[in-house]
Amino acid sequence: MSLHAPRRTLLLTALVAGFTAFPSTAHGADQETAPCARLTAREVRFPAPDAGRVVFVTAADFKQNAVLITGCVRDTGGYLQEWQVTGFIGRNGFAPVGTLREGQYQSPTGSFSATEALGLANPGTTLKYHVVNPRSRWGGPGSPFYNNYVENGSPADENLWYWANEGTYAQAAVVNYNRLPDSIPVPGADYAIFFGAGNRVSAGCVSTTLETSTQVVKTLIPGDRFIMGVVSDVFMPAPPSSAVPPPPASATQNVPSATPTEVHSAPTSGTDESDFIPLGILLVAGGATAVFVFFTLRKQENSKRS
């Protein structure tokens, strides 16, 4: 017994080593889970001037369309986390700053103000709110109302009535990418970027639960911000001489599980196949170690018996 018990322990340890190092694939090991604290510590590359609330939408890397969404509210000492949920962005992830074009199925990177919202009924917001109707459109390519709300319009415009009744825009805040007041609209640089519902992969919008999108529409006021992008683009390293302060106490929501589906086209998984390569390597290494330990101990046992 004194030999067999340690042998089993060593074998189990060797095998478990292959599993414990398996990387997280929901959002990636490099996801930032305390963006409000990073904003307080001034470790965010994109500005949030005078924003009472900031909504972070971050992915671990450019291959992912699954994101972590965090709501921050300004307090006397900085920003506190109000809530945190999962969600999805464009099918092909985030586009680096200044590279987004129509048809890429990506979401923009940067800091964008909130001034408008739309949906089936005003939930009680101070943002300019459009109650959508069968004539509601969002100006598309070639429209004189490019990247703005319009009624009637052309076939190139996005049909807000359809997507509101389908659920995606039942409640949606407008992300002021490529539009005033943040910038003069540039045709071809993409349009109709909303923070909406549906909780599924999109053509470029942020998509999460209807509960969360409704909360965002209700609580944001003109001038609040969306900060969006890959973690390595959004956050700066902490200065060597100072430590990042611990995240303040918050009433954080439980992060719901989510299954991506496609709004406009077939979904692309937020998890790259290469995520599974380390698992195979580690399992092989763990198994080889286990076999080596087994035969070494067996040889020692046979030597003692002889």
Residue-wise pLDDT tens digits, 153-190 = 888 999 999 999 999 999 999 999 999 999 999 999 99
Q: How far apart are CA 63 and CA 229, in angstroms?
A: 12
CB atoms closer than 10 angstroms to residue 1: 5
174: tokens are: 């407008």
Residue 191's pLDDT is 97
pTM, full prediction = 0.71
Residue 283's pLDDT is 41
Q: What are phi and psi of 289, to 5 degrees?
A: -65, -40
Would you say residue 262 has pLDDT above 50? no
The continuous run of DSSP H or E covering 217 comes out as helix 210-219
Q: How far apart are CA 40 and CA 11, in angstroms?
A: 47
The continuous run of DSSP H or E covering 158 comes out as strand 158-159
pLDDT above 90 as % of the chain: 65
Residue 298's pLDDT is 53
Q: Could you tell me which of 59, 42, 68 has the C-alpha nearest to residue 96?
A: 59
296: tokens are: 């070494």
Confidence bin at 284 (pLDDT 50/70/90): very low
pLDDT digit string (tens) for 107-156?
999 999 999 999 999 999 999 999 999 999 999 999 999 999 999 988 89
Residue 44's pLDDT is 97
Residue 238's pLDDT is 75
Would you say residue 242 has pLDDT above 60? no
Would you say residue 293 has pLDDT above 80? no
Confidence bin at 219 (pLDDT 50/70/90): very high
Q: Could you tell me which of 34, 41, 53, 12 has the C-alpha nearest to residue 252?
A: 34
Lowest mean pLDDT among 52-56, 120-124, 280-284, 293-297: 280-284
Residue 60's pLDDT is 96
Would you say residue 248 has pLDDT above 60? no
Would you say residue 9 has pLDDT above 80? no
Residue 247's pLDDT is 54
Residue 66's pLDDT is 97
Rounded to the nearest 10 degrees, the angle between the axes of helix 277-305 and helix 4-20 is 170
On the CB side of 155, CA atoms within 13 Å amount to 0
Q: How far apart are CA 104 and CA 188, in angstroms?
A: 11
Written as one letter, the residue type at 34 is A
DSSP β-bridge partners for residue 134: none
